[in-house]
A and B are shown apart, each in its own frame.
Chain A
Amino acid sequence: MTLELGVVLDPALPPATMAALAQRAEEAGLDMVVTNPGDLDPWTTATWLLGSTKSIPIGVALAPVATPDPRDPEAGYPSVAGRARDSLDLLAGARLITDPSAWTLAPADPSPADLERAAAANLPVVVPASTEAEVDRLARLLIEHRGPRPTGPRRTSSVRAKRLPGIAYDEVPASLAETAVEPGDPAYRTVRSTYLRGGRPGLVLRPTTPPQVADALAFADRHRHLPLGIRSGGHGVSGRSTNNGGLVIDVGGMNTIEVLDTATRRVRIGPGATWKQVAAALDPYGWALGSGDYGGVGVGGLATAGGIGYLSRKHGLTIDHLVAVEMVLADGSIVRADREENPDLFWGVRGAGANLGVVTAFEFEVYEVAEVGSAQLTLVVPDIEEALLRFGEMAAEAPRDTTVFLVTGRPRPEGSVIQLYGLVDSPDPEVIVERLTPFASLGALVQQQVILAHYTDVMNQAHDIGPDGHHGHGEPHARSGLIPGLTSEFARDAAQLLRTGDVYFFQLRTMGGAIADVDPTATAFAHRNAAFQITAMGGGTEALDTAWSLVQPHLEGLYLSFETTRSPERVADAFPPATLTRLRELKQRFDPTNLFRDNFNIDLSEMNR
C-alpha cells in the first residue's frame, strides 16, 4: 500500500505559524497540507499558502461558485472564479485541491493502526498538526510506513479516475513526469486541442530537451496501440498534432531563437517557436525568413513540410533556407543532418520530416528583407470563374517580389466575395501600388488596406498562443492540391465546386518563382513546378470530397499541411514515385519499426511486398 500523508492546519493558528508549518511539511516530504480557514476566505487563504510554499499540494474545501446575482454582494461570478483558478495554476502550478473527498482525516497524534485504517480509503491521509514537532513526527511515520511511490507530481484519486486504459501513466519517464498532462489535470484544457480541432489525448508529454524527446519516444514505443501525435505550435490544419485517446509529444517548450552567425545570417530555432516570434527576433537585424501566411503557426510542422508563404516567389520555400537540423530518431538517437552529415536524412526532412523523427533544432540561413508592402483587399466579383482565371494570370505573371493569395467561399446572390492577401517585397510605395493595381481591378473593391510594414508586422497580425493554449472545436475537413497552371478548365471546375455550397473556405496560394528554381530531386518536397496550392475546407468529409472531385483531374500532387484525409493514397499524391521510393529507403533505415506512423505514413509494407 502506498501511504500518502499530510497535515491539517488549525484555523486558530497565527498566520505566520500556519505558513511555517506548511513549509516544514513541504521540506519534511509530506504529501499535502489541508487548510481549514475558519472565518477567513478559503480561496484567499489557500492562495496565500500556495505562495508560502513551492511544491506541496494545498487542499481546501471550496463550494462551487453559484449562479451569479448582481444584487447579492456575496455572490461571485463563475467566469471570474474560472479565471482565478487558471491564474492560480499559472502562478503556483496545479497544486490546489478543492474537493474535500480527495483526502481523508485521521485523528491527531495517530498510531500506526490509525494511519492504516485511514489509508484503507486509498486517499491521502491528513492529520491535525499545530507544532513543528508534530509535523516532524508525521514525516517520520511516513518514512516508516510509505510503500513504493510513483514518480512525478501527486495526483488525487479524482484526477486518477480520468485516466484512460492502455496508458502506463505511472511509468512516464522521470524526466517528463513533472510536466506531463493527463485528462484530470487542470492544465489539460490548455493542451488537449489545437488551433482548429478539438482533441482528447490520453497523455501529453512535454519534453524540452533532445534527451527528453528520446525518453518520450521510448515511452511512445511501448504504446504502439495508440495514436501518436507530435506537436510544435498546434496550428496544423491536417490535424495530426492532437488525437483521441492517444499520446501527444508536444515540443512547444523548445522555442528558443538564437543568432549563430551574423555574417552568414545563420540562426538556430526550436520547433516550438511561432513564426511570429521568429519574425520579431530577426527584424532588428533587418532579416526575415518566409513562412506561411499566419504568424501563429509553429516552426516544427511547417519547416518539415515545405513552407509556402508571402516571400516564397522571391526566396523559395522555408525549407530551401534550411541548412541543418538536429533531430531525435525513432530509436532515441540524437543526430545532426546537413549537406555533409546524414545528407539523405537532411534531404528527407525537407518535405517528409514527420516520417523520420522529431526535429529539436532547425538552422536556417535567412535573408535581408527591408520594408515591404502588405495588402488586404476585399472585392465583390459577379463571376467567380472569370475572376479566378484573371487572378491566375495576374498572380503567376507578377514579378517575383509580388505574392498574392486569394480566399473565397460560397458564392452569394450578389456575387462572390474574394479576399486578396498580398505582399510586395519592395520599400517603394510607387512599386507597391503599381504591383497591386491590377489585382484591385478584379471586381468592386469594398475594403482595402495597404501598408508599408516590416515582415514582422505582417506575422504580428496573428494572436499569441498564450498560456491558455488552443481551444479548437470539432474536426475540420480540408483538401489540398497543387496545379501546374490556372487554366480556363480549372477556373470553370473550381467555380462549379464553389457553387455546390459545400466549401466555405477556398484558397489559392500562388507559387512559382524561386520555388521552381530548385531541382525537384533536391528535397523531399518535389512539386517544384506547381503554380498554385489550392485548399478547400468544407463541413463534412463526404460533401467536401464530392465537391473536390470536380477539380481532382487538374491536380498534380498535394501539400501535406492542408490535407486532412487519412487515406493511404494521399501519400502517393504528396510524393511522386521517385521521391517515394527514396523515402521508403530512408524510412527503412531511420524508422524501420514505423514509430512515426500517424502523419502521412510512408508505408514500408509496400516495399516489402
Chain B
Amino acid sequence: MTDYGHDLLFGTFVTPSAQSPQKVVDLAVTADRAGLDLVTFQDHPYQPAFLDTWTLISYAAARTSRVHLAGNVHSLPLRPPAMLARAVASLDRLSDGRIELGIGAGAFWDGIEAMGGRRLTAAQGVTALREAIGIIREVWDVSTRGGIHLDGEFYQVDGAKRGPEPAHDVPIWVGSYKPKMLELTGAYADGWLPTLEYIEGGLDSVPGINGRIDEAAAAAGRSPGDVRRLLNLMNVSFQPTSRALLNGPVDQWVEDLAGLVLEYGFSTFLIGGDDPAVAERFAAEVAPQVRELVARER
C-alpha cells in the first residue's frame, strides 16, 4: 500500500496525427469543455505522420481556457533544453499558467539521428537529462543573479540569460523505466510519467519502482511525496461487462482507478485512444466518483 496523497488529476494522452489536425485540436477542446484537468500530447519529432507537438500545444492552448497542457513526453535530443524551457515559460505566461512539462531522454534513435540529433547510449541519456533539467530550472529561475553557466558532459552554457519566468511553478515530469533513469526521477523530477503498457512486468513491478524512486528522493534530501506518480493508459474502453483494467463499465473504471491511487500511489491518469466520447465519460462519470471514493478511503 503506497499512497502519496496527491490531489487527483484526470486527462488524455493524444496522438498528434497530421492526417486530421482539426480533430486533434478538437480533442483538446473536448477535454477543456468536459472539465478534464490535463490534455497531453505524444512528441515524436522524427515521425512525419505527426504534427510538431510544441506547435500543436501552443495552438491548442489558445483554443482552450481551463485545461492544462503538456508534452507527454518531449524528446530531449530534439528539444534543446534552454529553448524548450523558454518556450514552456512563454506559453505558460500566455495561457495564464496552464502548461506543464513532460520530458524523456529519447527513444527511436534512428529517427532522432535522421533529424540531425545526437545518438546517446542509455547511460549517457541519464546524464544528459540530468544536465537538461538543471538548465531548465536555471532558465526559469529569474531571482538568482547572473547568467547560466554549465560546463556539462553533454551541454555547455556560458552566461546565457535567464527567463522568461513561467506564470506558475511548472512541474517537470520524467518518462522513465530503467533503474538509473528512475533514480534520476526520484532525485530531480517533480513527477514520474510512464505508460502502463511499457512498464516491464506491468503493474506488478510498480511497487518496486516506487521504492526505487522513493529511495532516490530520500537520498537527495527530498520526500517521496515530492514526486507525483502519473500514468498513461493506452488501452481503455467502456464495455458493458468487465474485460480488463479500464476495459469495462464505469463502476469498474472507478474501482480500478481508486485501486491505482490507494495501492500503487498513482494520482494522475491520462487515457489514450483519441475518442472524444470516452474522454467525456471519463470526465463526467468516472473522475468525480474516483475522487469521492478515494476521499472516503483516505
Closest chain B residue to A463, Cβ basis: B49
In contact, A45 and B62 (Cβ under 8 angstroms): no
> Is the pair A73, B90 in contact by a Cβ cutoff of 8 Å?
no
Given A48-B61, A75-B80, A91-B51, A16-B96 contact (CB < 8 Å): yes
* B150, closest chain A residue (CB): A73
| A51, B59: Cβ atoms closer than 8 Å | yes
Task: Say yes or no for B178: interface residue by CB 8 A criterion.
Answer: no
* Among B80, B96, B115, contact of A74 (Cβ-Cβ < 8 Å): B80
Task: Give the interface SS of chain A, mostly helix, strand, loop or mixed.
Answer: helix
A78 surroundings in chain B (CB, below 8 A): 116
List the count of A-B residue pairs having beta carbons below 8 Å apart: 133
CA distance A163 to B93 in the complex (A): 40
B155 lies within 8 A of chain A by Cβ: yes
Chain B interfacial residues counted at CB < 8 A? 46
Complex interface bits, B40-76 against A, C-beta within 8 A gives 1, otherwise 0: 0000010011011011101111110000000000000
A71 touches B156 (CB 8 A): yes
**Residues of chain A at interface, number, CB under 8 A:** 40
Q: Mark B214-229, 1 if CB is under 8 A from A, else 0.
A: 0000000000000000
Chain B contacts of A40 at CB under 8 A? 90, 93-94, 164
Bound Cα distance A47, B69 (Å): 15
A79 proximal to B (CB < 8 A): yes
B122 within 8 A of A: no
Judge whether A19 and B62 touch: CB under 8 Å.
yes
Contact B157 A73 (CB under 8 A): yes
Among listed B17-25, B247-255, B279-287, interface-contacting one: B17-25
B80 engages A52 (CB within 8 Å): no
Max chain B C-beta neighbours (<10 A), residue from A19, A40, A48: A48
Contact assessment for B96 and A91 in the assembled complex, using a CB-CB cutoff below 8 Å: no
Measured CB to CB, the closest approach of chain B to A247, in angstroms, equals 28
Q: Does A62 contact B (CB under 8 A)?
A: no
Task: Tell me, in angstroms, the Cα distance from A71 to B94 when the chains sit together.
Answer: 29
Q: Which residues of A contact B52 (CB under 8 A)?
A: 80, 83-84, 86-88
Question: Chain A residues near B25 (CB, 8 Å)?
Answer: 91
Kindly list chain A residues whose C-beta atoms are within 8 Å of the C-beta of B79: 80
Q: How far is the CA of A37 from the CA of B93 in the complex (A)?
A: 12
Interface readout for A36-54 with B: 1 if CB under 8 Å, 0 if not?
0101110111011111100
Is B59 within 8 A of A71, CB to CB? Answer: no
Q: Is the CB of A87 within 8 A of B56?
A: yes
Using A15-B96, A40-B93, A40-B94 as known contacts, say yes or no to A70 and B132 having CB atoms under 8 A apart. Answer: no
Q: Is A572 an interface residue (CB 8 A)?
A: no
CB of B243 within 8 Å of the partner chain: no
Which of B18, B62, B115 is the one whose CB lies under 8 Å from A49? B62
B80 nearest CB neighbor, chain A only: A73
CB distance from A321 to the nearest CB of B (A): 29
Q: Complex formed: what's the CA distance from A71 to B118 in Å?
A: 9
Q: Find the B residue at minimum CB distance from A78.
A: B116
Taking CB atoms, residues of chain B closer than 8 Å to A43 are 55, 58, 87
A438 close to B (CB within 8 Å)? no
Q: State in angstroms the CA–CA spacing of A44 and B92 once bound together.
A: 10
Contact A44 B94 (CB under 8 A): yes
Q: Is A331 an interface residue (CB 8 A)?
A: no
Distance in Å from the Cβ of A52 to the closest Cβ of chain B?
4
Q: Are B164 and A84 in contact (CB under 8 A)?
A: no
Chain B residues with CB under 8 Å of A83's CB are 45, 48, 52
Interface string of A82-102 (1 = CB under 8 A from B): 011011101110000000000
Closest 7 CB pairs of A and B: A51-B62, A47-B58, A70-B118, A73-B82, A40-B90, A84-B52, A51-B59
Residues of A within 8 A of B (CB): 15-16, 19, 37, 39-41, 43-45, 47-52, 68, 70-80, 83-84, 86-88, 90-92, 464, 466-468
15 chain-A/chain-B pairs, Cβ below 8 angstroms: A15-B93, A40-B164, A44-B58, A45-B90, A48-B62, A70-B154, A71-B154, A74-B80, A77-B45, A78-B116, A83-B52, A84-B54, A88-B59, A90-B51, A91-B59
Interface of B toward A, CB cutoff 8 Å: 18-19, 21, 25, 45, 48-49, 51-52, 54-56, 58-63, 77-83, 86-87, 90-91, 93-96, 115-118, 132, 135, 154-157, 160, 163-164
